[in-house]
Chain A
Amino acid sequence: KNEVEQSPQNLTAQEGEFITINCSYSVGISALHWLQQHPGGGIVSLFMLSSGKKKHGRLIATINIQEKHSSLHITASHPRDSAVYICAVRSGKLIFGQGTELSVKP
């Protein structure tokens, strides 16, 4: 079993929909990162969380340390949100989930 599990692996949504991507982990962590990767490879760090909730524009990330679970929410999704979203936990080194490929249709 992977130390970091994401669900779903693939997600297709209509523009405007509310989207949730989940991340569960089985190791002790000092922080959790949500990353965005567009076609072509470039990775952008969206959030770094160690507790609670963070919001940036239409993106919201939450973490529950006791349950070892984090969620990334996208409100009012837009085609430009189409990308792969990757959860990564800091447990000494960074350990990555397999990613969630999101496609938002107009």
Chain B
Amino acid sequence: KAGVTQTPRYLIKTRGQQVTLSCSPISGHRSVSWYQQTPGQGLQFLFEYFSETQRNKGNFPGRFSGRQFSNSRSEMNVSTLELGDSALYLCASSPSYRSRRETQYFGPGTRLLVL
């Protein structure tokens, strides 16, 4: 099975722009989660989607949004980019939602640099 794929892998934007990142989960996985990783804050949970519905959301401003499509692919969008949004954005998929026995499979990440 192919792993979790994320596109693009690298991105440079300027302040005020918006960006859309894409994540394709492992075939058959229906839950997709997004995470932000920065040197200062480490890994932080952004949101989780299952069956096209946002099931859980982290403590990020409304500029961060996401969605999931019927084929389980997910996108996240960041509007009005700020310098502090520079980070590695990771997507992870798992077969179901909130299963105690789930393992999350991570994608390679999208490295976003905001200038």
Q: Which residues of A contact B (CB under 8 A)?
A: 30-31, 33, 35, 41-45, 48, 50, 86, 88, 90, 92-99
Given A45-B105, A45-B106, are A93 and B42 also a contact pair (CB < 8 Å)? Answer: no
The answer on a CB contact under 8 Å between A31 and B105 is no
What's the Cα separation between A50 and B98 when bound, in Å? 13
The answer to whether A41 touches B105 (Cβ under 8 A) is no
Once the chains bind, are B33 and A94 in contact (CB under 8 Å)?
yes
**Known pairs A42-B109, A86-B43; A92 contacts B56 (CB<8 A):** yes
A48 and B106 CA atoms in complex are apart in Å by 14
Number of A-B contacts (CB under 8 A): 53
The answer, among A43, A50, A98, for a CB contact under 8 Å with B42, is A98
* Residue pair A44, B106 in contact (C-beta under 8 Å): yes
| In the complex, residue of chain B having the shortest beta-carbon distance to the beta carbon of A88 | B43
Complex contact A93–B58 (CB within 8 A):
yes
Q: Nearest chain-B residue to A92 (Cβ)?
A: B56
Shortest Cβ distance from residue A5 to the other chain B in the assembled complex, whole angstroms: 12
30 A–B contact pairs at CB < 8 A? A30-B98, A30-B100, A31-B101, A31-B102, A35-B106, A41-B88, A41-B109, A43-B90, A43-B92, A43-B106, A45-B104, A45-B106, A48-B101, A48-B102, A48-B103, A50-B100, A86-B42, A92-B56, A93-B45, A93-B48, A93-B56, A93-B58, A94-B35, A94-B45, A95-B45, A96-B42, A96-B43, A96-B44, A97-B42, A98-B42
| B106 A42 Cβ-Cβ under 8 A | yes
Complex: A27 Cα to B64 Cα, angstroms: 26
**Could you say which residues of chain B place their CB within 8 Å of the CB of A33?**
103-104
Residues in B neighbouring A94, C-beta threshold 8 A: 33, 35, 45, 104
Q: In chain A, what residue has the closest Cβ to B57?
A: A93
Q: How far is the CA of A92 from the CA of B102 in the complex (A)?
A: 13
Kindly report which residue of chain A lies nearest to residue B105, judged by CB atoms.
A45
Q: Which residue of A lies closest to B58 (CB)?
A: A93
Closest to A4 in B: B42
A94 to B91, CA, bound (A): 13
Across-interface contacts of B88 in A (CB, < 8 A)? 41
